[in-house]
A and B are shown apart, each in its own frame.
Chain A
Amino acid sequence: MPILSKDARIIWRRRIQGFWEEFSRKKIGILGLIMLFVFIFMAIFAPWLTPYDPLAQQRVADGFAMPQWVTVFPQFQNLTNTESVWFDWSKTTESPYIIGYGRNVTVTYEPKATETFRIKFESIYTYKAPVPPNSFYLDFSWTAGNVENMEYSINLYVINPRTEKSFLLYYKTNTTPAGENSHVDSIDPILMYRLGLSPGVDILGNIVFPDKGDYRFVLEMFFKPTNPSARCDINVREGQLTVLGTAHGILGTDNAGADLWSQLVWGARVSLMIGLIAALLSTTIGITVGVVTGYLGGIVDEAMMRVVDILLCLPILPLLLSLVFLFGKNIFYIILFVAIFGWQGLSRIVRSQVLSLRESSFIECATASGASKTYIMTKHLVPNVLPVAFASLILAVPSAILFEASLSFLGFGDPRAPTWGKILQMGFGFGGFSHLAWWWIIPPGLCITLLCLAFVFMGHAIDDVVNPRLRRRR
């Protein structure tokens, strides 16, 4: 059975058509609607608009990399892009023990004598940018198999073509289990200390790649049998060098080098979800409380209005903070708490409307023809207060969004939800200001503002339509 009868559906269709005709004449409302559609588009198509996972903190460029498009200005022309290359190892000497080389290197050493053996592979990386990079990292994985009576070591170093100076980036001797997925990072303080540099002062990228040229990466293996029947296979795979750029994408990167555009776009989804669900919940509570108290009156009314009085006296933001702190930083708790503290104003407005509707003749008529209280409340009172509630719903969305943004900004947001407030919090707490990272601070704040304004504009227009006489706003 459909929820609405055929007549009711026709009435509702006419009402909505009439509303739309009025609404479409308000320029500010249409502007708000267009802004809202942009954000809805962002929220729906977030996976296709963004290349990176917003929460993975994947290092796609140098920390505080500027947006790509600033390179059109002359003073930023020296910004570089992130460059990733595969190592292509070539052999430096001929040896029967080399099974394969290229992207995957395999060496099988089976000497039948206690003879040490050293072998080198080389891969050339041409650094082309006019300024040295700040940071780089390499990834590769290696395994040693069939190790019998053998001590081995594996080293990786880079040689500067001009000064012939070399930097030992990686070395390992017999490990258990034999092999690992290695990640060598230029910001690793242990690596810096080992090279005689001070972390935080020296910039390894600058020192290793000081200028343009063909840098030789050398992969060296060293075998030392302890017994004539020794054997060892070493396999080095998938070596990749990433030199991090100082310009990246549409909105640059944060302190950890993660893409900010991805975080921003995914933030639209969370903010819209929080705003809409919390507003719907609080409006539902507000309508229910208003209709029930207004229609039933008596002790229910008195009790609920005292509850409203108490809720109006609560300091909402501090209380939200402590509730989130106590119950856990979970997005659904945040929505619930924001909704619980957001219905008092509406319930009073609805109650006062119901108080006057209660005396009107159509309700009297319904009561006389034997309609139950539930029937009158759901079929007569609720539909009549819906227009007011709708305007209030639209205006409740920005306040919910702002509450969530404030919570996130103060560090009480859900750590698993990428929100605009969290981006701002990170920007404020992790050096966005001292690095003058406007691309980190301004976009999320602007997005919060524009999304809230979209709803405020629409609410303003809707309020004009549904309450033409009521010019005063709260």
Chain B
Amino acid sequence: MRGYLVKRIIVSLIILWIIASLNFVIFQVVSPVSPEESILPPGGGDDASMREARAILRRLYGLDEPIYIRYAKYVQNMFTWNFGTSFRSMKSVSGEMSWRMSNSILLLGLAEIATILVGIPIGIFAASRRGTKIDVATIGAGLLTWGVPTFFIQLLALLVFAYYSYVWFGFSLFPTRGIYSIPPPADPVGFVADVAWHLALPVGSLVLAGFGSWALYTRSILLETLTQDYIVTARAKGLDERTVLYRHAFRATLPPIVTVVALAVPGVVTGAMITEYLFNLPGIGQWYLTALLSADYPVVQSVLFIYAMLTIFANLFADIIYGVLDPRIRVGQGSGR
């Protein structure tokens, strides 16, 4: 197990390094906009002052050095959490990253937890009543989440709860933008309530868009488990259905479900980019978009790096947790994947 773990961690770090290198190639080698051009106003011309400004900027950002030195420094910086200075705000990227990250984690953590807490019980419920209308409705909801774009649900939510409610009731039920009111309420209880009020629509819409696939997944895994021999044995012993379902069957479905929960984390983080854009929440997704549009490469690189890192470590975590939860594969195969 330990040998396997060490191998997995090393492979993860190598993949991370490859992705960081790809990042470097994309933004600093093949990119059509050179960094100093993205800082200077467009169409600045080529007179002496502009040439001097370019030279200063090249020196400031270390762009006058040969490419391999830049690459070495870049890799070192990425792995030491030193993401450089934003071209636009001229502030440290790591500093801004941390508070934006906390906003994103708040939004997505809440959404993810709520989705799972809604989706999994519905899946169990549907599986225990296989073939009934509830079951069919669950399958329908699961299929719907494949087709409905999350941002359409969010646009509808905005239209109804923020804009139409203003016409109907004279006030907006929910705010359209931001993570707290400006100015924020002074007392802590009021502040928490204010943040909850601002997050209600984005989190609610993410849950609505996501719970169906969780329910479908739980249902199908549970149904598969319910055909196993030991369930038949448990029923034959005369245990009541509730015990069979929760004690025997559901427990066995935990490893795959936990794995999928871990694997879903990065997808939720990147997928929430549109949510942050729509509701103007200052998370890293929204930051990435604005940075990309203004060719703010240090920010773009760092966010992509963080996203990749999240995915890789979620994969790693899923592997480990699967090994811990499922004794059958604790011996250390799994390299065959």
Contacts and interface: CB of A to CB of B under 8 A. Distances in A.
Contacts of A456: 143, 146-147
A310 B273 contact: no
B180 interface: no
B31 interface: yes
A449 interface: yes
Contact of B147 (A312, A314, A441, A452): A452
Nearest to A409: B151
B163 A314 contact: no
A452 B163 contact: no
A436 B167 contact: yes
Given A322-B304, A409-B151, A428-B278, A313 B315 contact: yes
A452 B151 contact: no
A298 interface: no
Given A409-B151, A441-B155, A472-B221, A326 B32 contact: yes
Contacts of A334: none
A457 B152 contact: no
B211 to A, nearest CB: 16
A228 B221 CA distance: 100
Given A436-B167, A473-B216, A318 B224 contact: no
B220 A473 contact: yes
B137 interface: no
Given A315-B311, A318-B273, A472-B220, A424 B155 contact: yes
Interface in B9-25: 11, 15, 18-19
A405 B224 CA distance: 35
Nearest to B301: A322
B273 A453 contact: no
Which of B147, B277, B292 has the most C-beta atoms of chain A within 10 angstroms of its own C-beta? B147
A237 interface: no
Nearest to B285: A318
B149 interface: yes
Contact of A318 (B148, B158, B176, B288): B288
A409 B274 contact: yes
A457 B312 CA distance: 32
Nearest to B300: A322
Interface string B132-154: 00000000000110111101100
A436 B220 contact: no
Contacts, number: 123
Given A428-B155, A442-B156, A449 B270 contact: no
A406 interface: yes
Contact of A398 (B147, B216, B266, B311): B147
Interface in A200-223: none
B117 interface: no
B244 interface: no
Interface string B3-46: 00000000100010011000000110011100000000000000
B147 A315 contact: no
A321 interface: yes
A317 B152 contact: no
Contact of A445 (B152, B216, B224): B152
B141 to A, nearest CB: 12
Contacts of A424: 151-152, 155
A312 B285 CA distance: 19
A322 B26 contact: yes
A344 B292 CA distance: 26
A348 to B, nearest CB: 9
B149 A445 contact: yes
B324 interface: no
B72 to A, nearest CB: 21
Nearest to B271: A317
A326 B31 contact: yes
A448 interface: yes
B149 A402 contact: yes
A318 B270 contact: yes
A410 interface: yes
A409 B277 CA distance: 10
Given A313-B15, A317-B273, A406-B151, A453 B164 contact: no
A450 B147 CA distance: 7
9 contacts: A310-B19, A313-B312, A315-B308, A316-B270, A318-B307, A326-B26, A326-B32, A445-B152, A452-B148
Given A326-B31, A452-B146, A453-B143, 8 more contacts: A314-B19, A315-B307, A318-B303, A409-B274, A433-B158, A433-B162, A442-B156, A452-B148
